[in-house]
Amino acid sequence: MDTAQEVPTTQTEPKKTINVSGSVALLEGLIAEGTDIVFGYPGGAIMPIYDALYDYDEKLKHILVRHEQGATHAAQGYARTSGKVGVVFATSGPGATNLVTGLADAQIDSTPMVCITGQVFAHLLGTDAFQETDVINITTPVTKWNYQVTDASEIPAALAKAFYIARSGRPGPVLIDITKNAQLQMFDYEGYTPCEHIRSYRPRPVVRKEYIEKAAAMINAAKKPFVLFGQGVSLGSAEQEFKAFIEKSGIPAAWTILGAGAISTDHPLNVGMLGMHGNYGPNVQTNSCDVLIAIGMRFDDRVTGRLDKYAKQAKVIHLDIDPAEIDKNVKADVPVWGDCKETLPLLTELVEAKKHTEWLAEFRAFDQTEQEQLIGKELSPESGEMTMGEVIHQLNVLTKGEAVIVTDVGQHQMVACRYAKFNHTRSNITSGGLGTMGFGLPAAIGAKFGTPDRTVVAVIGDGGFQMTLQELGTIMQSGVNVKIMILNNRFLGMVRQWQQLFHDKRYSSVNITSPDFVKLADSYYIAGKKITEREELAGALKEMLDHPGSFLLEVMVAQEHNVFPMVPQGMSVSEIRLK
Amino acid sequence: MSNSNEIETTGKQEFTITVYTENRIGILNRIAIIFSRRKINIESLNTSPSEIEHIHRFNILIHETEEVVRKLSRQIEKQVEVLKVYYNTNQDIIWQEMALYKVPTDTIAELVSVERLLRENGARAVVIRKDYTVFETTGHREETDKLIEVLQPYGLIEFVRSARVAIIKDSEGFNRKLREFERREPGEDVIENEFLDKEKNVFTM
């Protein structure tokens, strides 16, 4: 070749760097990722990060929780209402182990969260140093990904990877453990580059058209198609796409508790809640539909009941972003692997516009039965002790479905999920998969920070409240406006219900006593009220909602009241009991 | 080798799971707990660098039903640092295990029969010292087991066996796949949803 060798015309400029500590690089990275709030608790091994935070108080709001578990649930609540990644800081050792419950909860409920833990100096790793714990190995089963940083220069890339993994694909919690020397170490920081690709990780499957076509053909041929939807719809921000799909195809749709709110409660095709304490129609009809279309849900055992008697007559179409969910519990005839934001519009295009009037009427007939035999008495009892259902009903009347409802775990949770009205997505914040008692109060704090303009009501039982009640301190100090409603039945109600129904009423350790919750709130400078009579309910709820700040309302409800309908464990969904 | 009667009654048989991962600290634990959480015993485990730099290849041997193996494989492949998982029955692979046997040199030297037995079993001397000799053999479990029995009467001092290493008969290699993984928008034909195409043969090549 005779062409002159090309001389490089531009010399690669050396990247501009600034000399900063690992801690400063971490905070810069968080800001670059759009973080504006961190829930955390300081301690020895994370002190350099907190020291750096001192100069960042205008850009990064730090909420001092009262226990690290509270920080994780608050971050979950924040992530669930805002759609952003929740961020947690905790120190090494006990600080880190206290994150485990929240991580497990976020893992099973697919909540995007990044936890930063401090760790002992790198040279002390493995020596049983003060507050050393092997947090990477402890958290491996409960994180989507985790990584230990021992050198400051790793921080920007590790953080970028953490955020990318936490929020892409099926979201989940990620933990970065940073040794104290890496937090202190000065290094040449080149700025923050977000992560967009990891070769071993494929969060966005390529959608295969032929499976969309197969699914559409199956739907078009169906006489009794039935949609089950889960949190995948809201995690994928596909609420509009979902609505368009069911409205065109005219298919009745039922939800898992984490799916609630993706379409409004009042939508004519919303036929109610699935699962153990779900509605009558959706459970029974699961075993009479001909095509079952599962969208962003994972056939949890609380949804399916006995698997070998679950929808055996139906062809199953399963839309999910996580291939490990396809065929895990229920075999799919047509698997549609992909992001439902992408797959639903493709499906909508191919399905015929229909109205399944008669089929929908069958659901409404079941509703009628459930209404007459159960719901009516539940929501509007005329005498006797107050029911949880009527409290939620009264709350609906006042909030008109506009509020964010955060629940704890137990009877009140099932009642709230069944009866609360939701006009908007990302409004039902609850611990679904893990069933974490103590979730409610801290999650409500985070939920409010995630959506400051909306009313946030935490519905909590007397048992669960006592698991994380120290977070009243967080409410006091941060000034966050959370409405706390304790439905007090003086029992660990759900366990008591099972003991009554399945253990000969042998009430073993379910009788729980409580402190004076109103006085407790008062000691945290939080307004409160306790009511025992039906006549006070509407007024007290109004007072709670109208109060300018946080408010704790304790409602004394029936002591031995059971949540029905119920699919007893080991039974088929169609064997659901109304009493 | 798995007993075909057993496959019929319990549905369980030997499966070799091949996993390609990034060479990262902690990935062994992430993979191992997917088995232990379901209380599944790993019969043998080999992990070592693959032919591609920075990528490790695992061979995991378990005794399970295909249905469970498929679910496990998907859960392994879901791990962020796992590139690809395949599972195969014994019919689909060529496999070997290596074994080392330490026996007293004097017995071997004195007894001609031992020498013959070793030759018959395809063993090869690795080290010969005055006090002991180390033999090596490779083969299937039954073969290496048999040599233990043979050598036991002659004062077998020590024995060790490696995990199974397996080559997948139908494999076209991993290089081409890896190049696709490195692209931001991988080609549809090469990777994604391949399990949907192959219905039953999910995660097999």
CATH no. for A209-362: 3.40.50.1220
Confidence (pLDDT) at A236: 97
Q: Each residue's pLDDT tens digit in chain B (205 positions)?
A: 445 677 777 899 999 999 999 999 999 999 999 999 999 999 999 999 998 888 999 999 999 999 999 999 999 999 999 999 999 999 999 999 999 999 998 887 787 677 787 788 889 989 999 999 999 999 999 999 999 998 898 899 999 999 999 999 888 777 777 777 777 655 544 444 444 444 443 333 2
- CA-based nearest residue in chain B for residue A333: B199
Confidence (pLDDT) at A206: 85
Average per-residue pLDDT in chain A?
A: 96
- A386-560 under CATH 3.30.1340.30, yes or no: no
Residue A30 pLDDT > 50, yes or no? Answer: yes
Cα angle B67-B71-B75, degrees, rounded to a multiple of 5? 165
R_g (Cα) of chain B, nearest Å: 20
From chain B, the residues in CB contact with A165 under 8 A are 80
Residue B52: exposed, middle, or buried by beta-carbon count in 10 A (0-12, 13-18, 19+)?
middle
Q: Could you tell me the residue ranges of all domains in chain A?
A: 18-189, 209-362, 386-560
Confidence (pLDDT) at B179: 75
Of A68, A241, A370, A390, which one is the catalytic site residue? Answer: A68
Confidence band (pLDDT; 50, 70, 90) for A28? very high
Determine how β-strand A527-531 pairs with β-strand A551-556.
parallel
* Range of lowest pLDDT (A15-24, A58-67, A180-189): A15-24
Active site residue A131: yes
Q: Report pLDDT digits (tens) over A104-140.
A: 999 999 999 999 999 999 999 999 999 999 999 999 9
Q: How far apart are CA B179 and CA A199, in angstroms?
A: 9
Interface of A with B (CB under 8 A): 136-137, 140-141, 144-146, 148, 165, 196-202, 205-208, 211, 322-324, 326-328, 335, 337
Residue B192: exposed, middle, or buried by beta-carbon count in 10 A (0-12, 13-18, 19+)?
buried
Active site residue A180: yes
Q: How far apart are CA A257 and CA A243, in angstroms?
A: 18
Q: Mutate which of B35, B193, B194, B202 to disrupt the A interface (most A C-beta within 10 Å)?
A: B193
CATH no. for A18-189: 3.40.50.970
Residue A10: exposed, middle, or buried by beta-carbon count in 10 A (0-12, 13-18, 19+)?
exposed
Residue A401 pLDDT > 90, yes or no? Answer: yes
A206 and B192 within 8 Å at the Cβ level: the answer is yes
Residue B40: exposed, middle, or buried by beta-carbon count in 10 A (0-12, 13-18, 19+)?
middle
Taking the model in full, what pTM does it have? 0.94
Q: Mutate which of B58, B71, B80 to disrupt the A interface (most A C-beta within 10 Å)?
A: B80
Q: How far apart are CA A453 and CA A425, in angstroms?
A: 15
Q: Report pLDDT digits (tens) over B59-88.
A: 999 999 999 999 999 999 999 999 999 999
What pairs with residue A198 in β-bridges? A201
Q: Report pLDDT digits (tens) over A379-393.
A: 999 899 999 999 999
From chain B, the residues in CB contact with A326 under 8 A are 74
Q: What is the percent of chain A where pLDDT is above 90?
A: 95
DSSP state of A491: B
Q: Mutate which of B24, B196, B200 to disrupt the A interface (most A C-beta within 10 Å)?
A: B196
Confidence (pLDDT) at A63: 98
Tokens at A190, concatenated: 């080149």
- CA-based nearest residue in chain A for residue B196: A335
Cis peptide before A565 (omega within 30 of 0): yes
Q: What is the ipTM of this complex?
A: 0.92
B75 and A324 within 8 Å at the Cβ level: the answer is yes
Confidence band (pLDDT; 50, 70, 90) for A13? low
A350-355: long-range contacts, CB 8 A cutoff, minimum separation 24: A350/A212, A350/A213, A350/A216, A350/A220, A351/A216, A351/A219, A351/A220, A351/A245, A351/A248, A351/A249, A352/A220, A352/A249, A353/A248, A353/A249, A353/A250, A354/A249, A354/A250, A355/A250
DSSP conformation letters of A180-242: HHHHH-EEEE--------BTTB--SPPPPHHHHHHHHHHHHH-SSEEEEE-THHHHTT-HHHH
Tokens at A483, concatenated: 């409405």
pLDDT higher at A382 or A423: A423
Residue A389 DSSP SS3:
helix
Q: Report pLDDT digits (tens) over A49-106.
A: 999 999 999 999 999 999 999 999 999 999 999 999 999 999 999 999 999 999 999 9
Question: Nearest-CA distance from B81 to chain A in Å?
Answer: 5
Q: How far apart are CA A303 and CA A100, in angstroms?
A: 25
Q: What is the mean pLDDT of residues A153-180?
A: 98
Q: For A201, which of B26, B80, B197 is closest by C-beta distance?
A: B80
From chain B, the residues in CB contact with A322 under 8 A are 78
Confidence (pLDDT) at A564: 97
- CA-based nearest residue in chain B for residue A134: B26
A341 close to A314: Cβ distance less than 8 angstroms: no
Confidence (pLDDT) at B185: 59
From chain A, the residues in CB contact with B195 under 8 A are 323
Interface of B with A (CB under 8 A): 21-22, 25-26, 29-30, 33, 37, 70-71, 74-75, 77-78, 80-83, 178, 181-182, 184, 186, 188, 191-193, 195-197
Q: For A208, which of B70, B74, B196 is closest by C-beta distance?
A: B196
Active site residue A130: yes
Question: Do A18-189 and A386-560 agree at the fold level?
Answer: yes
B184 and A201 within 8 Å at the Cβ level: the answer is no
Q: What is the mean pLDDT of residues A181-199?
A: 95
pLDDT higher at A6 or A391: A391
Strand extents, DSSP E, A302-354: 315-320, 334-337
Longest dimension (CA), chain A: 101
Helix axis angle for A493-502 and A411-419, nearest 10°, is 100
Confidence band (pLDDT; 50, 70, 90) for A10? low
Confidence (pLDDT) at B3: 56
A–B CB contacts, 8 A cutoff, strictly below: 69
